[in-house]
Amino acid sequence: MSSGSSHRMFQLKLDPLTGNSEWVIIDEDSDEQTFHQPLLATTSYLDMLNDSTRNTAFRQAIEKTITKPCHVLDIGAGTGLLSMMASRAMGGKGMVTACESYLPMVKLMKKVMRVNGIEGRIKVINKRSDELTVGLDISSRADVLVSEILDSELLGEGLIPTLQHAHDNLLVENPLTVPYRATTYGQVVESTYLWRLHDLNSNEAGSYDGVQLAPPGLESVLSVKRQQYAMHCDSIGEELKPLSEPFKIFEFDFWKRPESYGETELRIKATDDGRVHAVVSWWELQLDREGTIYYSTAPGWIRSTTATTPVDWCDHWKQCVWFVPGSGISIFRGEEVHLHATHNDTSISYNLDTQVSRSEVLHHGLTPGDFQLVLPPERAAIYGDKGWRLSMLKAVENVLQGRSHSLCLVADDSVYLPLLVARLSEAPHIISSFPGLKERGLRYLQAAARANNLSPNCIKVVEKGVKKLTMHDTNQKKVDLLIAEPFYFGQDGMLPWQNLRFWKDRTTLNCILSEDAIIVPNKGILRACAIYLPDLWKSRCCLSKIEGFDHSGVNATLGACGHLPELEEGPCLPFFLWQCGEFDVLSETFDVMEFDFTKQIGQCQGKSQVNFTKTGVCHGFVLWIDWVMDSQSSVVISTGPDKRYWKQGIKLIATPRTVGPQESTNLQACCSATLEAFFDPSNGELKIILDFL
């Protein structure tokens, strides 16, 4: 969000322990430390700039395309890399305009250009490209467009409206462009894992708890949004079965004005028997007009005939997955699947049909009504996971045993726990706070309670934060059971310990808890292990020269980890470890510290010895929280590396170390290390100190 001035902007900063947000002012002249560095550390800028295949392809295409002095426009310029390439291709002559709307990146761009002695040759404009006016911001229409405003889906960053405005207002007729063209491809696949990420109705069938979150008639009320989801599909390659050859879907030419809407009908012949659970898609860039320079985001099992070089693992561009509704569509080898693909300004969507299974298609043709509660795919999979639900069932049964007429407060955004407690209680009296879902949670619970034959009056939703809850909201009764999963809507990208918001809320609610109130979960255990993680480490390395341009001045702001100077420390970052390319566990799992939720929140620290079990190169440590649901520690829900529905925290080290067990014959291997951690309850941050012995 920008103010009226191009030299000031407001950036939203979230406190993970309270859920509260505040606007931080970023000025053109303010020090870089004043804006929220962790936000930039979790963006894709560093990973993208470390993608040498991408950088080389753009440099080659720019040098091939720009052969004489002209006016070059760079939209979404970032650090200015493409602008500097264009300026160098013209020998410092001509004119380059770099347009970047995000002020923190504008500040970094100017810093990079200054270090490379090129600042005076490039005009930097802190505006959106659709705010530019010829004669006011730029002197004339540009002859060449260089731009890289692409996401994993291709269109999500506004490629189409950006190109439309540029062709209408900023570019000459028939301009030169880098890239020249983008083509999207797809493949229909069978994958039990992908099916579990969205079909809650089928996956929860047969659960022991008697709760139906998505009963018949409500499948589309609690569901995953119909959209493409970015995912590293190579990570599930061994459990994914392609059911067709790759097929071309859409083609977008950068050199001419694109249409806002497009559609295509494809007949796809099945190459094997199976059940279509998803469409996996990717795109390929043709960067030059002649078609000699390409870049592809295809998964590893696809061997593109046009890619000039293999693409290394990277996190900024992944494949995309579109879930086929319900339990998928059954097909046989040789049968045709009809795919109807459409695109609008910012997304691509699909509908599948078969000629021989009309009744099944009608079943999948459900459309959401006036109300829909959208879950992240991983949360839908958790709710459909029988093991997780059995653990929750045991935990709630244990705490309710021998208690009647108890008042239960569900402190997070769980839609499952209110229904489970109501199902198991003799005289249910439940309050849900829904800090993120708010009214949507209320409307869902009203419908779900009726569908589960529960009295809607047994569950009360208070649409206020925990800070504002009083005895008035509980009808002057103390809370006997405070419970959470914990799950906070909209915070799926947070580090594991930022779910300790539950502990903060428990402390805030202390005045309305009974003396013998039961807290579920009872405690959290921070656990860790050492990992070999070369792909992620490489993508998070410090930048030096990129295609000849010094970028070392942006490392701290972008959250670099590898090759850091001795006294600097990189951030801990949230990732699904299993999607981080090649990895291996090199040590035993060890406990770092415990968080006791029966007590009020406070500072915590812990120190543990690391015992390496395997010889290899250690790139860092993965950390997670295991939630101990009861005081007897009989029910523990882990969110560790082998649990694919939760993100872990990954702490990369500046210099990888060769490690091994005590009996290792490798004389260079380090056999032991210590990991010490400090938790700060004022901001939810975890400081980690590593020492290799």
Per-residue pLDDT of 575-634, as tens digits, reads 999 999 999 999 999 999 999 999 999 999 999 999 999 999 999 999 999 999 999 999
Predicted pLDDT of residue 363: 33
Q: CB neighbours (10 Å) of residue 464?
A: 14
Predicted pLDDT of residue 339: 96
* Angle of helix 439-451 versus helix 417-424 axis, rounded to 10: 40
Predicted pLDDT of residue 309: 53
- 486: CB partners within 8 A, 6+ apart: 411, 412, 414, 499, 501, 502, 521, 627
Contact 199, 223 (CB under 8 A): no
424: burial class by Cβ within 10 Å (0-12, 13-18, 19+)?
middle
φ, ψ for residue 129 (rounded to 5)?
A: -65, -30
**520 closest CA partner among 415, 654, 421:** 421
Contact 462, 430 (CB under 8 A): no
Residue 42 has pLDDT above 90, yes or no: no
Question: Of all helices (H) and strands (E), which one includes residue 113?
Answer: helix 103-115
**Mean pLDDT across 284-290:** 97
The Cα 38–Cα 453 span in angstroms is 46
Give the pLDDT band (50/70/90) at residue 660. Answer: very high
Residue 432 Cα distances to 414, 423, 521, angstroms: 8, 15, 16
How would you label 138-149 residue by residue, b for 16+ Cβ within 10 Å and e otherwise? Answer: beebbbbbbbbb
- 543: CB partners within 8 A, 6+ apart: 46, 49, 50, 551, 552, 554, 555, 558, 560
Catalytic hit among 119, 131, 157, 397: 157
Catalytic hit among 22, 63, 100, 148: 148
199: burial class by Cβ within 10 Å (0-12, 13-18, 19+)?
buried
Sign for the pseudo-dihedral over CA of 16, 19, 25, 28 = positive
Whether 157 is a known active-site residue: answer yes
Give the pLDDT band (50/70/90) at residue 466. Answer: confident
Predicted pLDDT of residue 428: 81
Whether 148 is a known active-site residue: answer yes
* Model confidence, pTM: 0.92
The Cα 9–Cα 102 span in angstroms is 8
Query: Tens of pLDDT along 216-271?
Result: 878 788 999 999 999 999 999 999 999 999 999 999 999 999 999 999 999 999 99
The Cα 448–Cα 456 span in angstroms is 9
Contact 43, 79 (CB under 8 A): no
- 642: CB partners within 8 A, 6+ apart: none
The mean pLDDT of the chain is 90
The Cα 597–Cα 479 span in angstroms is 15
**Mean pLDDT across 414-420:** 96
**498 closest CA partner among 359, 654, 684, 364:** 684
HSE value, Cβ hemisphere, 13 Å, CA-based, for 40: 25
DSSP assignments along 542-602, one per residue: PP-EETTEE-GGGHHHHT--BT--TT--PPPEEE-GGGSSS-EE-B--EEEEEEETTS---
